Amino acid sequence: MRTKGKSTVVWILLGLMVMGLGGFGVTSFSGGTTEVGSVGDTKITADEYARALQSQMQTLSQQTGQQITMAQAQQMGLPAAVQGQLIGAAALAEQARSIGVSVGDEQVAQTIMNAGAFQGPNGSFDRAAYSDVLNRERLTEADFEASVRDDEARVLLQNAVANGVTAPNPMVDQTARWLLQTRDFAWRELTVDDLAEPIADPDEATLKAWHEANGDRFTAPETRKISYAWVTPDMLSSEVTLDDAALRAVYDQNIDQFQRPERRMVGRLVFPSVEEAEAARAAIDAGTNTFEDFVVERGLELDDIDLGEVTRGALGQAADDVFAAQQPGVVGPVQTDLGPALFSVNAILDPVDISFEDARDDLRGEAALSGAARQIRSRTSDFEDLLAGGATLEELADDTEMQLGQVDWTVEGDPESGSITGYEAFRERAIDISTSDFPQLFELADGGVFAMRLDEIVPPTLITFEDVRDDVLADWKEAELQRRLLDRASEARLKAVAKTAPGVDAEPQVDAAAEDQPATPVEWNIETGMSRSDYMQDLPQQLLAQAFTMAEPGDVGVVDAGDRVFVLRLDQIEDADLSSDEAVQILDGVKSRLNQSLQGDIFEYYARHVQRNSKVQINQQAINAINAQVQ
């Protein structure tokens, strides 16, 4: 655990500047003050807070695949979290300063010179790059180097507090035993065929009571009644006129889609000598080795020798042999510029020869859509002017090419193909729109535009019994099946326990219908040597998890997996052998992880203690001003 704070700029610049995030939306955030808080004499500047907040937002945007807005960040509590990080780090910096912990100029210089953001093409420190980055971040070298010094001092403080803390050996051994323990068990799944009689339909009173008791299952979600006006390229494409000259230009611009020579997808493995290449080919032909075996033998992976999709001209003197192959396989040895080689022909790609005449119809459709999109872009300002002038969606549809529509939209609903609900831009705004919002123009991914108005929000409403009777019946039957299967599983468990427990009645009380059912042999599925981390295909995770909660061999349990029911019997517990090679590796890994965890906890407690005993001040007005500027 390495904390960052007073030198927030360090980890932003040294880590994220490499990805081109320097200067991301950063202007002056001082707003009349350069501080947003302090811990003792250690200041937290406005720029530090802004950089930290923006980098966190950018990281979250990359993780989610969508740009996080400030409003969303505030809903997630991101600004408060960033403030907490900066305050904690500043408290540690203040503690290091107060007890005289610091580092020398040499350590500061080494940290900066090792930073990838400041290295040139040759991998060494580039002073010009260093100055450029700092200038873009409005930092002086003195300020930045002071931040690096503070950061390194905190690392020294952390090491002094936490280094030497190690996990006790009994804890390490116990954890490893827990991880490496294996169990043998048997299971069987109960299905509808195990019931004594089929499930009969209940009466209406039962169904109505079920509908009332489980209303959440039969409640329509919140519905947003939305009116919209929209226009897409597809709506206008029929009005776009195109001549052959325009289509020919599109054809020529995309000629690679219509004219491509014959190609091969190949891998090339070069050998030191012709003799070795011939021996390898003989082994492949004899079936004693595969092409892939020789790749691995050379210490390579298939990606290392893959040439991808190549034309005849790209293969040089090997072209004739490779292109002579009529089906996938191994070709060679062939002499190449790199030496004798075997080629693995993985796919044969026929030439593509689509004439302009054959492509005309497809080109016309694509070109028409492109032209319609340009037409919409040229009209966008007109649409926006009408909306700004107070035009309603209905008037917009009457006076322009836009079409009026209405949809009852729910978050849970599936996007409908061909409908405006199929566009992500619409769905994103449908969530946030309110009845007080005025219609605005937004873009669609295909070049279309739309404006929307929220007419009404219908809260979640219980659907009447008559409208969902079939669903209620199906839901009741599903629950009844699960209940009866659990009862049967309990009976089976008692029988299984009775067989191994002298003096216990092996025939538990069951209903009359079950007594009439003919006895059938019980078939168990046997699992041996299962560990906690194993995966049981097509079976619920609860089955394996419950096998490791059972106390002794011979124990029998019932597993309720929600929509499936199992009877589970524990047969054997195999304790771990901590002297095995596998166990030694596990022990090392467990010890390392536990050491890190304990050291992290110790330092976390220390950091909290330092912060609790420090004088913390926050300028909330300055923070609010920065939050308002961050986009």
pLDDT tens digit string along 404-445?
Answer: 999 999 988 887 777 899 998 999 999 889 999 999 999 998
pLDDT tens digit string along 109-123?
Answer: 888 888 877 877 677
> Could you tell me if 82 and 59 lie in one domain?
yes
Interatomic CA distance for residues 449 and 234, integer angstroms = 12
> Could you tell me if 68 and 205 lie in one domain?
no
> Could you tell me if 31 and 137 lie in one domain?
yes
How sure is the predictor about 12, in pLDDT bands with cuts at 50, 70 and 90?
very low
Exposed (0-12), middle (13-18) or buried (19+): which is 618, by Cβ within 10 Å? middle
Which residue, 433, 466, 467, is CA-closest to 450? Answer: 433
Quote the pLDDT of residue 243: 67
**Do the Cβ atoms of 37 and 609 come closer than 8 Å?**
no
Quote the pLDDT of residue 475: 94
> Could you tell me if 35 and 94 lie in one domain?
yes
> Could you tell me if 231 and 306 lie in one domain?
no
**Is residue 176 assigned to a domain?**
no
**Do the Cβ atoms of 416 and 202 come closer than 8 Å?**
no
The domain in which residue 395 lies consists of: 223-235+369-459
**Is residue 253 assigned to a domain?**
no
> Could you tell me if 134 and 199 lie in one domain?
no
Quote the pLDDT of residue 162: 79
Q: Mean pLDDT across the chain, nearest whole number?
A: 83
pLDDT tens digit string along 26-45?
Answer: 334 444 457 888 888 888 88
Average pLDDT over residues 527-555: 92
Domain containing residue 319: CATH number: 3.10.50.40
**Is residue 14 assigned to a domain?**
yes
CA 424 → CA 108, 445, 504, distances in Å?
A: 48, 8, 64
Quote the pLDDT of residue 23: 34
> Could you tell me if 47 and 156 lie in one domain?
yes
| Whether pLDDT at 362 is above 80 | no
> Could you tell me if 431 and 523 lie in one domain?
no
**Is residue 192 assigned to a domain?**
yes
Which of 350, 383, 417 is the last residue before a domain boundary?
350
| Whether pLDDT at 24 is above 80 | no
| Whether pLDDT at 363 is above 70 | yes
Interatomic CA distance for residues 624 and 220, integer angstroms = 39
**Is residue 498 assigned to a domain?**
yes
> Could you tell me if 414 and 495 lie in one domain?
no
Which of 319, 350, 381 is the last residue before a domain boundary?
350
**Is residue 603 assigned to a domain?**
no
Q: What is the pTM of this model?
A: 0.53
Domain containing residue 84: CATH number: 1.10.4030
Which residue, 305, 215, 189, 125, is CA-closest to 540? Answer: 189
> Could you tell me if 436 and 498 lie in one domain?
no
> Could you tell me if 204 and 101 lie in one domain?
no
Strands 461-462 and 306-311, how do they pair?
Answer: unpaired
**Is residue 100 assigned to a domain?**
yes
**Is residue 272 assigned to a domain?**
yes
> Could you tell me if 515 and 624 lie in one domain?
no
Domain tally for the chain? 4
